[in-house]
Amino acid sequence: QTMESPKYELVIEAKDMGGMDVGLTGTATATILIDDKNDHAPEFTKKEFQATVKEGVTGVIVNLTVGDRDDPATGAWRAVYSIINGNPGQSFEIHTNPQTNEGMLSVVKVRTIPSCPVFLLSGSSSGDPLMKATKCKDKFLCSSAIVLCSAPQFDNNLCTFVRYSVFKDPAGWLEINPTNGTVGTTAVLDRESPFVHNNVYTALFLAIDSGNPPATGTGTLHITLEDVNDNVPSLYPTLAKVCDDAKDLRVVVLGASDKDLHPNTDPFKFELSKQSGPEKLWRINRLNNTHAQVILLQNLKKANYNIPISVTDSGKPPLTNTTELRLQVCTCKKSKMDCSATDALHISLTLILLSLLSLFCKSFA
């Protein structure tokens, strides 16, 4: 039983002569100090405690109170708290307040989306080493309570007074109705945008309640974009050099690429634009689905030539892109290539002269 005072004083009398009245007597005072035993469990003052988690904020969210009938001056009174369930991400910790013996439950990791787990906590007396070693296996040394954590959530049972807003929309494509949370688009969504990763565009939205201060919940929207044939193929390289007396007239290997996905990319079709004049100067041969080779049909004089080449993808409908390959015919001596344009003639000028000559000859005939 719990005693009102841990100290007793007893007055003891001793008589000689066998306790006869003619004998002498003496008295002494005996003081008995009673040490407290850890025989009372800490008891939570409530079975449930309420706490609110604010997004992006750390620190103490609730103080848990216990009572213990052991002596506060001893370690048997000191409570040790532990979270025994509901904390898989280790976002919460609990410590004992040494002055009040309360359990301080704290958020130690910032949570992007506050959740509402249920925490089961235990308190135990820790003064007696033997009792501490039991680790709360003895039901007389332990008690438990439930802490309910709350925050606004994205679900079908949101409270009436909630407003919505866009939190993160990297490309600026989306908007949200502030009252009902309906998401719409403000621009065309492009799968080839640098803001799209692995065909998925990600945006974040906020749900804000009418509390004081207001609590906030964050929702993530993932939009998977399908491919359409909206990109023309590109050609590379766009510059080639060859010697005016070259024996190997295979000038350059061209490649094509497309930002779209199959089947809107290769195999590509390579074509030369129509060549004017009495004779052709070059041709293009397809090597595989993505590459072709430009070949001269004869040695050319030193000049800069522009060769229009069109490449078409396999989309339905297909898209075509025409690119000019700049061909520099250079003078080569002793393994040195001189491509200076002092005597360069643009191919378009040559073709015009040839066309005029052809017309003149027909008129004369």
Q: Which CA distances in Å does 121 have to 16, 135, 164?
A: 63, 13, 35
CB within 8 A of 160, min separation 6: which ones?
none
Angle at 280 between CA 278 and CA 286, to 5 degrees: 155
Phi, psi of 351 (to 5 degrees): -65, -35
Q: What is the pLDDT of residue 153?
A: 58
Q: What is the pLDDT of residue 196?
A: 96
Give the C-alpha separation, 150 to 148, whole Å.
7
Give the C-alpha separation, 24 to 14, whole Å.
8
CB within 8 A of 168, min separation 6: which ones?
203, 204
Taken as a whole, the chain contains a residue count of 365
Give, for all 365 residues of the chain, the pLDDT tens digit: 455 666 778 888 888 887 787 778 888 888 877 666 776 778 888 888 888 777 677 888 888 888 877 777 777 778 888 887 777 678 888 898 988 889 898 888 765 444 444 444 555 555 443 333 334 555 446 777 777 676 655 555 544 468 999 999 999 999 999 998 999 999 999 999 999 999 999 999 999 988 778 888 899 999 999 999 999 999 999 999 999 999 999 999 999 999 999 999 999 999 998 765 556 899 999 999 999 999 999 999 999 999 999 999 999 999 999 999 999 999 999 889 999 864 444 444 444 454 455 545 444 44
Respond yes or no on whether the N-terminal peptide bond of residue 317 is cis (omega within 30° of 0).
yes
C-alpha closest to that of 45 among 138, 133, 126, 121: 121
Enter the tokens of residue 328: 């520099």
CB within 8 A of 95, min separation 6: which ones?
81, 103, 104, 106
- CATH number assigned to the domain covering 234-334: 2.60.40.60
Same CATH fold assignment for domains 130-148+160-226 and 234-334: yes
pTM for this prediction: 0.49
Q: Would you kindly state where each structural domain of the chain is located, as residue ranges?
A: 130-148+160-226, 234-334
- Structurally, at CATH architecture level, domain 130-148+160-226 sits in Sandwich (2.60)
